[in-house]
Amino acid sequence: MQDYMSLAEKNGVILKDFGACQFCGAETQKGIHECLEIFNVGFQRINFSKEENHRYRFLIVDSHTLQHPEIHGRWNNHFHLTRLHLMIKYKVKWTYKLSPKLSEHLNQYKKGKEEEYLWPPPVLKRGRITTTEVLKVKEDELKCKTLIEKWAIEVYEVLKEHHEIVDGIATGFLKKGNVFSSNK
Ligand SMILES: [Zn+2]
């Protein structure tokens, strides 16, 4: 857990430990710390170990990470927005095996692109749906899943100006045959 604190410090951001989440606006009491806690353990009605539910884990991680880039590494937006793009636009059925392949693809992509940043929208303008919104419906598995889908689409849409860039990364990734070979 110390990790995100040091990343925030590195990014010159002071973390508030009270009130609403300073990044996404979630209605928390302890700010980002509580927002992360909900993200880590909040939606237990969904059995994430079942393969059919893996999708929701990926969508949660992508949505939350893209709403809180200040506590993540510099290339995280590239990874998570590309993954959302592949799942939403290209309807890729994501699997755990594909994530390291996408990281590898990005490692090659980022060479010579040290100046390329996928800047997020200002804080509190990264989609209305947040961890606390999803938490409110956590007892109802279907509602929870539906809201997670909406959450991901909302976050994906607020980053529209970067869709062209991630489309280039995504199509390069697809051309390598990664999805086909890992779903076989
Ligand atoms: Zn938050």
Q: What is the DSSP string of 107-129?
A: HHHTTT-TT---PPPPTT-S-S-
The domain containing residue 102 runs over which residues? 2-183
The pLDDT tens digits of the residues spanning 18-43 come to 999 999 999 999 999 999 999 998 88
Among 57-66, 78-87, 150-159, 174-183, the range scoring the smallest mean pLDDT is 174-183
pLDDT the model gives residue 178: 82
137 alpha carbon – ligand 1 mean position (Å): 17
CA of 15 to the centre of ligand 1 (A): 11
Average pLDDT over residues 124-145: 96
Confidence of residue 184 (pLDDT cuts 50, 70, 90): very low
Count of the separate structural domains present in the chain: 1
Interior angle at CA 40, CA 32 and CA 139, nearest 5 = 105
Residue 125 contacts by C-beta under 8 Å, 6 or more apart in sequence?
158
Task: Kindly report the pTM of this predicted structure.
Answer: 0.94
All residues with CB under 5 Å from ion ligand 1: 21, 23-24, 26, 35
Residue partners of 14: CB distance under 8 A and separation at least 6: 8
Task: Evaluate if residue 1 carries a pLDDT over 80.
Answer: no
- Taking alpha carbons only, the member of 158, 121, 129, 124 closest to residue 31 is 124
